[in-house]
């Protein structure tokens, strides 16, 4: 890497329809001290041509290509591999999402001026295929408390879109975290661990425009489709996502350096929150049995 302030990792697979808009929204930012690492997961459309053209035009862009599709999780991990030890900040980027002008500059300013903040979440608006705003997301989280218990409580009780990975993260903190793109639905556990480790600031203006369209992963409904997107080489079998998330939240809590008393308080909170999800936990088990009997392949979240 070049030693620039931000490394941006953009995983993509067959993203020709929206990829140029995603790249252009980065290149037009007022803050330009970044490296954009694009990892192509064996695309079969014009993605490779688009990426190579941009990489030839701008030395901030590097292009990596896998000969086969190895899934979203692998691709999200891959863009982390070139993260230099001296790089202060990192963010993942969606291949169909767009940054509003000035968003990078606003996020960098927060992390520069507020050392107690671990990460910055952008404001969020949802857009359709044509780029029209279909919803402006209300702010539902406040993770600026100095008390880890209060931040943990917010994460467990509030409803929110999982966009923290698409905000701006302190790279040294990211390297210390145990949670990453290693299993389906890793992002809610990621923000949980991040909130345990420090404060998170959410911008009220300057948004990440998240594109919702028929080909997005948000439309995936079956376990077979999910495996195709996330881990194409994974063996079919039973799946217990809510059990996985509860387990991983507990592991992330134990891995922090919080005082024992604070860990105990948060553990009791997590236990209560998990008990509130008993219907989802039971549905995981029921659906796994139905899938094993060939009765249904519906996913449980």
Q: Residues 55-71: pLDDT tens digits? A: 999 999 999 999 999 99
**Is 297 a domain residue?**
no
Query: In 3-state terms, what secondary structure has residue 227?
Result: helix
Q: How confident is the model at residue 231 (pLDDT cuts 50, 70, 90)?
A: low
pLDDT at position 147 over 90: yes
Q: What is the DSSP letter of 219?
A: G
| DSSP H or E segment with residue 89 | strand 89-92
Q: Which of 60, 58, 52 is nearest to 4 (CA)?
A: 60
Query: In 3-state terms, what secondary structure has residue 210?
Result: strand
**Is 299 a domain residue?**
no
| DSSP H or E segment with residue 49 | helix 47-57
**Is 298 a domain residue?**
no
Same domain for 177 and 227, yes or no, is no
Q: Tell me the per-residue pLDDT of 113-128, one tens digit each, with 9 for 90 and over.
A: 999 999 999 999 999 9
How far, in Å, CA of 299 to CA of 165, rounded? 23
Q: Would you give the end-to-end CA distance of the chain in angstroms? A: 38
Q: What is the pLDDT of residue 289?
A: 82
Structural domain count of the chain: 2
**Is 248 a domain residue?**
yes
Same domain for 171 and 30, yes or no, is yes
**Is 92 a domain residue?**
yes
How far, in Å, CA of 76 to CA of 66, rounded? 13
Q: Tell me the per-residue pLDDT of 250-292, one tens digit each, with 9 for 90 and over.
A: 999 999 999 999 999 999 999 999 999 999 999 888 887 887 7
Going 193 to 198 to 199 to 201, the CA torsion angle's sign is negative
Tokens 């590097």 — which residue? Answer: 62
pLDDT at position 222 over 80: no
Query: In 3-state terms, what secondary structure has residue 83?
Result: coil
How far, in Å, CA of 248 to CA of 258, rounded? 17
Single residue among 215, 235, 257 that ends a domain in this structure: 215
Torsion of CA 58, 62, 64, 65, to 10 degrees: 0
Q: What is the pLDDT of residue 235?
A: 57
Single residue among 177, 194, 215 that ends a domain in this structure: 215
Distances (CA, A) of 38 to 55, 69, 80, 170, 201: 9, 14, 11, 20, 27
Q: Tell me the per-residue pLDDT of 2-44, one tens digit each, with 9 for 90 and over.
A: 689 999 999 999 999 999 999 999 999 999 999 999 999 999 9
Q: What is the pTM of this model?
A: 0.91
Same domain for 279 and 167, yes or no, is no
Q: What is the pLDDT of residue 300?
A: 61
pLDDT at position 221 over 80: no
Same domain for 141 and 250, yes or no, is no
Same domain for 270 and 122, yes or no, is no
Least confident range from 21-35, 126-140, 179-193: namely 126-140
**Beta strands in 93-241, from DSSP E residues, in sequence order:** 98-99, 117-127, 133-136, 168-170, 199-211
**Is 300 a domain residue?**
no
Find the CATH number of the domain harbouring 140.
3.90.550.10
Same domain for 211 and 251, yes or no, is no
Q: Tell me the per-residue pLDDT of 82-125, one tens digit each, with 9 for 90 and over.
A: 787 889 999 999 999 999 999 999 999 999 999 999 999 999 99
Q: What is the pLDDT of residue 238?
A: 53
Domain ranges, residue 127: 6-215
Same domain for 21 and 59, yes or no, is yes
Q: What is the pLDDT of residue 293?
A: 75
Same domain for 156 and 269, yes or no, is no
Single residue among 181, 215, 249 that ends a domain in this structure: 215
């Amino acid at each position: 890497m070049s030693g620039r302030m931000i490394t941006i990792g953009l995983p993509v697979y067959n993203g020709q329809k929206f990829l140029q808009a995603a790249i252009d929204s980065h290149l037009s930012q007022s803050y330009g001290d970044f490296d954009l690492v694009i990892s192509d997961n064996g695309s079969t459309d014009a993605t490779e041509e688009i990426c190579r053209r941009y990489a030839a035009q701008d030395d901030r862009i590097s292009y990596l290509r896998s000969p086969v599709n190895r899934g979203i999780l692998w691709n999200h991990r891959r863009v982390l591999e070139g993260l230099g030890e001296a790089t202060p900040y990192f963010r993942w980027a969606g291949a169909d999402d767009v940054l509003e002008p000035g968003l990078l500059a606003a996020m960098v300013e927060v992390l520069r001026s507020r050392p107690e903040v671990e990460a910055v979440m952008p404001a969020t608006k949802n857009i359709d295929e044509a780029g029209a705003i279909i919803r402006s997301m209300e702010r539902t989280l406040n993770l600026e408390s100095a008390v880890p218990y209060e931040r943990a409580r917010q994460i467990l009780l509030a409803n929110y879109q999982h966009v923290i990975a698409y905000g701006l993260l302190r790279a040294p903190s990211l390297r210390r975290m145990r949670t990453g793109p290693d299993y389906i639905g890793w992002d809610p556990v990621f923000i949980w661990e991040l909130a345990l480790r420090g404060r998170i600031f959410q911008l009220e203006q300057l948004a990440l425009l998240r594109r919702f369209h028929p080909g997005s992963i948000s439309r995936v409904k079956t376990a077979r489709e999910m495996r195709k997107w996330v881990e194409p080489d994974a063996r079919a079998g039973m799946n217990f996502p809510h059990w996985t998330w509860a387990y991983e939240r507990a592991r992330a809590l134990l891995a922090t350096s919080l005082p024992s008393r604070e860990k105990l308080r948060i553990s009791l909170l997590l236990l209560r929150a998990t008990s509130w999800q008993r219907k989802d936990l039971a549905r995981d088990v029921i659906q796994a049995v139905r899938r094993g009997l060939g009765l249904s392949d519906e996913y449980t979240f």
